[in-house]
Amino acid sequence: MAKFKFEYIWLDGYHPEPNLRSKTKVLDMDFFHGDLKVLPIWSYDGSSTKQAEGHFSDCLLKPVRVVPDPQRINAFLVMCEVFNPDGTPHETNTRASIEDDEDFWFGFEQEYVLTVEGIPVGFPKHGYPRPQGPYYCAVGTGNVSGRDLVEEHFDTCLDAGLHITGINAEVLLGQWEFQIFGKGGKRAADDLWIARYLLHRISEKHGIKVEFHPKPIQGDWNGSGMHANFSNHMMRDVGGKEYFDSIFEKMTITHPEHISVYGSENEKRLTGMHETQSIHKFSYGISDRGASIRIPIATAQDWKGYLEDRRPASNADPYKVAGRIMKTVNGALVKENGAVNKEKAAKKAE
């Protein structure tokens, strides 16, 4: 038998956003092929993570996603849900609250800023660099900073089998982005949380902090978002402008509900400037990066495809974001002359 290391990862009970926590469990096995069923439920001290009282502190970790850990020998990363001792989902378990639907596809664009002592890497210790403009998707000293860490994270995510689809330097110097894709809200959010975990862990050896605040630098600088690209079968394969219009109608009505789960201090980013719409207004537009919902040109050509929700902040919980989007879109039905289009509704149900 060999000894395998399993890094159990979970979300704590801190507000307004949870922190990632983890601890390692060693199991003796002949081999491990990724079967979640053989991984035991494990407990931890919830009183140290704001999820229990000290007099009754045990919380349970239930594995829900496992991938290889490329940075350790015989090791795996295990994303977990938190449960109460009686087996019910803990109130902080946002994953359990999702009514998941693998018919939905999500592509999250996770922006973040690398900082040292609160200053973005590449910034001078006093004052500011050149105004933003030359940094987006840039190359060269003075135009980008932190690439070694970013590339290491990229390769590690790929080696772990996460569905990371790309990286790029962003508009603010020291700001970067990676993209995660998944079929189903839970799968996409699982991979995003694991990718965030790896980013934090890799940053430790570089002596750099990863900042997910939506507006880390005040002034004439872009904030950080977690744009959510989404579609379902009806959007991708059936389409129709009426159906998309019904989604926009539902999004308009539920805008406050979306904003409530799209990350704290998001009002500092959603100002109506720097490629954002005001947090107090909902809008949509073709190829409009200043809208709440951007309609890609390819989608608008024949009204089939995906949409980009540009409202989520970089610190948002992707479980909450995916859950809210699915709930809103599932409430949208095409109406023509005041009646539901039965043919398209039937195809949606297939």
pLDDT in tens, the chain (350 residues): 999 999 999 999 999 999 999 999 999 999 999 999 999 999 999 999 999 998 999 999 999 999 999 999 999 999 999 999 999 999 999 999 998 888 999 999 999 999 999 999 999 988 899 999 999 999 999 999 999 999 999 999 999 999 999 999 999 999 999 999 999 999 999 999 999 999 999 999 999 999 999 999 999 999 999 999 999 999 999 999 999 999 999 999 999 999 999 999 999 999 999 999 999 999 999 999 999 999 999 999 999 999 999 999 999 999 999 999 999 999 997 554 343 454 544 444 44
Locate tokens 């890799």: which residue? 202
Measured CA to CA, the distance from residue 196 to residue 160 in angstroms comes to: 13
Angle, vertex CA 18, rays to CA 17 and CA 21, nearest 5: 155
Query: CB of 203 within 8 A of CB of 302?
Result: no
Tell me the pairing of strands 209-211 and 105-116.
Answer: antiparallel
Residue 330 tokens read as 């599932």
Q: What's the CA gap between 192 and 69, in Å, rounded?
A: 15
How many residues belong to the chain? 350
Q: Which domains does the chain have, with CATH numbers?
A: 2-83 (3.10.20.70), 105-349 (3.30.590.10)
* Concatenated DSSP letters of 38-52: GSPPEEEEGGGTTSS
Closest CA to 42 of 19, 16, 24: 24
* Chain centroid to CA 116: 24
